[in-house]
Structure 1
């Protein structure tokens, strides 16, 4: 695949920023459901450690579901649509759910120290580290 249609790092980061806004809304909805389930009596500061572990696990699962579902069903999250970038596999199709989940897992590691995005500046195809590992890439979607 030619590097000329690869999404530049600034566009990727802009899409991530938009997606964080969507994720905050999802996380707030999940927190509201927890409060509803406990009739507003959740005192987070005095909950056992297991509660925090479970809550963080649920938020991580919701985040994974958002990305994996979006990438597998069209290759774009809401932020990626706004910034006209798309995730594709080696065949220029939306990745299958297993590959999307793999990319999500690698992206968690890739976020440590932002080295995954820095990788874009050294890769000839401008792929992030998690894209290299998952055999995916971000491309720019041309206007219709």
Structure 2
């Protein structure tokens, strides 16, 4: 059982920036492999996605990155340089169930992309960013520095104990 204090919110935000870079790399690799699988025809002549499975595959691979990282060691690539990890409220490693709950809630702002047919692409792309800001806002004020997805999954971000 670990009794360390929660990690400062700025470390969480720094790790998010690093993880965004890792997610971009993952998406690029999956996109490249999908292009190979479709023999360069992932998009049709009008620029529309030709493979129904491509976006679900992207979501599964990115989701797996976070789930496996949190369960195996409690750290994503972005969390490692900032020496923080995800734990349960007692400081123990998180379970698959907690990790999945955390992922589902953290991914909810992606549903805001569906506003695109009703608005501009620019607004549709900024909508999830605003959603994530709302999810992360409590970590600035909560005594245990928890974001909404941490509250739902009963997890915390803690500094690594050396």
Q: TM-score range by the shorter chain?
A: 0.7 to 0.9
Show structure 1 runs of 4+ deviating over 2 A.
41-44
Root-mean-square deviation (CA, aligned residues, Å) is 2.0
Q: Gapped runs of 5+ residues in structure 2?
A: 110-127
- 1:48-91 deviations in whole A, cap 9, x for unaligned? 5xx3x532211111111000000000100111111111100123
TM-score, normalisation: structure 1:
0.86
Q: How many residues are treated as equivalent by the alignment?
A: 139
Q: Gapped runs of 5+ residues in structure 1?
A: none
Instruction: Tell me the distance in 1 between the aligned counterparts of 2:42 and 2:71.
Output: 35
Bigger fraction of residues in helix: 1
Which residue in 2 is equivalent to 1:26? 26
Report the CA distance between 1:141 and its aligned residue: 1.5
Instruction: Tell me the distance in 1 between the aligned counterparts of 2:134 and 2:59.
Output: 21
Which residue in 1 is equivalent to 2:147? 128
Q: Tell me, yes or no, if the aligned pair for 2:34 and 2:54 is still in contact at 8 Å.
A: no
The verdict on how the C-alpha distance between 1:65 and 1:113 changes in structure 2, with shifts beyond 3 A counting, is closer
Report the CA distance between 1:109 and its aligned residue: 3.0
Which residue in 1 is equivalent to 2:115? none
Which residue in 2 is equivalent to 1:10? 10
